[in-house]
């Protein structure tokens, strides 16, 4: 008798607040999603796909259609992890109604459990609008890649008193709007720990604090597949990029020396012995 694997739901992620840390990684493709599924509680189909897989300089050019396609790919490769999909730049900021149309497409066309959007107090009404209509939303404050141009680059936030107070207000607004989780990216450690302590929703840190209720990293950073730059907050657990390069070098050498393919790789060749 085959045992049915039950997918982790949004309520279960929320229930991890203050208990077992939430393990989250990004995933963009079916093969990688299959490898991560048994180990991650929450898989994020991030708009970081634009930089990681497509070589874009920022996440801004990523489209809704791209996010849906990669969301579908990740869902095909998973049966256990909760999957959420980023709403890309320009697909939700204009109005709650616009956000609903984009989120509804993501949910219906991918089968994912939730969406994530960037922004604090200014997006609270949108989060509330989506949640009231049955769409689970994960918030994202601090360093927000979609706002990198306005912020003047990728940098940690919350060092200055005014920044810290704004982040506190953003966290409260997103929490009160009904988000099921809140990503804190690039938020200085003491402030990230403080926010984790006063919001009811679980926080997921990336370059934030070990006191957050969970952690997320870009899987290609963790695996050593993305080498353009390595943020300070990344810990590499493998160097697969070097292995891929070494494998390609060995293959090229075999082809040029006519060592590959051998008789065992060809059809219609009698086996020796």
Question: How far is it between the farthest Cα atoms of the chain?
Answer: 79
Token pair, residue 204, equals: 């997921």
Residue 205 tokens read as 């840190």
Does residue 142 contact residue 182 with C-beta atoms inside 8 Å?
A: no
In Å, what is the CA distance from 169 to each residue of 121, 135, 175, 198? 7, 23, 10, 11
Nearest to 41 by CA among 2, 18, 63, 10: 10
Residue showing tokens 């049955």: 134
Give the total residue count for the chain. Answer: 273
Which of 97, 185, 189, 239 is an active site residue? 185
DSSP 148-178: HHHHTSS--B--SHHHHHHHHHHHHHHHHHT
**What tokens does 144 get?**
């927000």
The answer to whether residue 249 is catalytic is no
Structure tokens at 262: 């051998």
Annotated catalytic residues are: 185
């Amino acid at each position: 008798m085959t045992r049915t694997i039950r997918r982790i739901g949004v309520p279960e992620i929320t229930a991890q607040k203050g208990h077992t840390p939430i393990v989250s990684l990004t995933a963009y493709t079916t093969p990688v999603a299959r490898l991560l599924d048994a180990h991650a509680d929450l898989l994020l189909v991030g708009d970081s796909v634009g930089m990681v897989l497509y070589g874009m300089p920022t996440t801004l050019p990523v489209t809704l259609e791209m996010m849906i396609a990669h969301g579908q790919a990740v869902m095909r490769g998973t049966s256990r992890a909760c999957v959420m999909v980023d709403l890309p730049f320009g697909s939700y900021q204009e109005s709650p109604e616009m956000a609903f149309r984009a989120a509804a497409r993501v949910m219906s066309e991918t089968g994912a459990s939730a969406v994530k959007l960037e922004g604090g107090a200014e997006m609270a009404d949108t989060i509330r609008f989506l949640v009231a209509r049955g769409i689970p939303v994960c918030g994202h404050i601090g360093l927000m890649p979609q706002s990198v141009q306005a912020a003047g680059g990728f940098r940690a936030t919350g060092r200055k008193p005014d920044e810290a107070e704004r982040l506190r207000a953003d966290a409260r607004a997103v929490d009160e709007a009904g988000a099921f989780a809140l990503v804190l990216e690039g938020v200085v450690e003491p402030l990230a720990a403080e926010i984790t302590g006063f919001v009811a929703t679980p926080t997921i840190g990336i370059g934030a604090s070990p006191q957050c209720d969970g952690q997320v990293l870009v899987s290609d950073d963790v695996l050593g597949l993305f080498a353009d730059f390595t943020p300070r907050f990344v810990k590499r657990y493998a160097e697969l990029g070097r292995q891929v390069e070494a494998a390609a070098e060995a293959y090229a050498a075999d082809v040029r020396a006519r060592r590959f393919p051998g008789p065992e790789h060809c059809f219609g060749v009698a086996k020796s012995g």
